[in-house]
Structure 1
Amino acid sequence: MTKAERRALQEAQRAAKAAAKGEGSKAAAAAPGAVSSEITKPNKVVKPSQKKSDGASVAPSEKKGPGGERPPEKERKKDVPHPRMQYDDESRVEKAKRKAVVKQTEARNRVELFRHLPQYEHGSQLPDLESKFFQLDLMHPAVYKVGLQYLYGDVCGGNARCIAMLKAFQEVIKEYSTPPEKTLSRDLTTKINSYVSFFTECRPLSVSMGNAIRFLKSRIANLPLTMSELEAKTTLQLDIDQFINEKIILADKVIVSHAVTKIRDGDVLLTYGSSSAVEMILLHAHELPQKP
């Protein structure tokens, strides 16, 4: 129901209520003893909360904006369909294919259980990757090497892929030189973005990789303008080492030390996938002395 229809319905209800009230008062005045009954009838005490509720003829969700009308954004939100998974929406899939940096060959033998997900021939995107990135001198050799390791499965696991990516970024920063008439923060961020696009085409980013990328770009953006290029590069390399040690290695150790306290001898554990942290938990729990 649109706003105009709701308003018309409310006006009609108010008019019908007023007409019924007028007819009721006329009938009461014509009936014998109506005056005496009205005098002897005690006045009804209306609570403030009732007045407030009776006066609010419009629901909270239907409040009007400053101009007397609901903002168009809220109207549009009501018409938005229920969100669906990305690969269950054909329009989203086609849009993602158009925005893809490289084209991949659809797999001939598709797994029926995962038919709703994209399935490509293994390694079919390599020639296109080379033509778009490597041969155009847009790709650092360290980044290209790590991307191929993602593509062929030589480096797998969220933490392992994140560390490999950060190590490649360290090589990029080490050999980086600010072009003339450009600033280090903007130019280096642009390069990082292009490398991230390359990694994404090789394999979708893990959660830890996304966090690491945001961390590095934040550090680059917050570099003081008065800092020399050498100092900035050294600072960024140290920041990457600190992120790896604290957010990945040390974090895994803390997770393992806490998780092993939940495992008892004879427990049956169900795992999904091949997480390095879960593997460390199981190995460490196996090495601990059995508890009575």
Structure 2
Amino acid sequence: MELKCDHSNYGFGNELSLVVLVSIVNTLVCFSFDRSHQYRFTAQYFISAGTVSRNRIVRNMVRTLNELSQLKETNFGQPDPRHGLRLLWWFANKCVDNVNGCMISLYNPAYGHFGFHRFYNRIEDDEDRLLPMINLPYYEVGNLSYGSLPKDVTANYNRNHADSNADRIIVRFQSNPPSFDRIYVTQHSDQLNFNPNTTYRISHGLLKTIKSLRLDEFLRRTRNDSPFGMIIQPQYNRVYSTHLQSRHTPYQATEDSTCLYICMLIFLIIMLALFIFFYVNMKTVVKKQWF
């Protein structure tokens, strides 16, 4: 029997359409709040049980990584003793198999292998969501304190280093067939919460690329180590990061002004179109009254 992954029941088309619509509105409104953190107002509708829920607001759309170079730019799992890159390589090679385009799970995360446990998709204690709401469970893995991960992952673990156990993989699991509907990488912002600005989706294509590489080759192609042992900090896209340096503030002010002018121009065009519409209709009415 041929194995197929069917995601049509999970509202993907509606989710995509709504995200596109919200992106257009976001561009037109150009509404910024909390300029010190450079937040963009971004509304996103969540999918729950196949139904669109219209009462959720999230700060960022999750960026999808398709290439090793994009993963490298995020600086995920770096520098040592962080373990995120090793964790991702291990997961791609030991926990997932590619069958007819499906990311088949080699272990059911509900059984707790390697420290897998449920992730309830919340930021802090409020109703903000780190990932899209959908009628599939999320699970996370990567906590080194459980002692259930292999040495390839735990090689640089240092209990005395704050960032040594910060990285995690979050998966969205479907049971029929047993596969990972989505795969994300993220890191803790504190002991309880994950940072939405350093959360990324790993595409199916990138996962296949990782599976084809040895660990040393994968680390060589994704690390940002300089010859002097320093880490080169990537220049993040504003859309996916809210923690920008103060040197970007003048650029933000200029962009906000440009957005304001564009919005005013759009408003004037709409008003002009309405005026012409009513003028033509009134003229037609007057002609009918006279003749």
Which TM-score bucket, shorter chain as reference? under 0.3
Name the structure where helix makes up a greater proportion of residues: 1
**Higher normalized contact order (CA 8 Å, seq sep 6+, divided by chain length):** 2
Please give the TM-score of this superposition, normalised by the length of structure 1.
0.23
Please give the TM-score of this superposition, normalised by the length of structure 2.
0.23
Greater gyration radius = 1
Name the structure where strand makes up a greater proportion of residues: 2
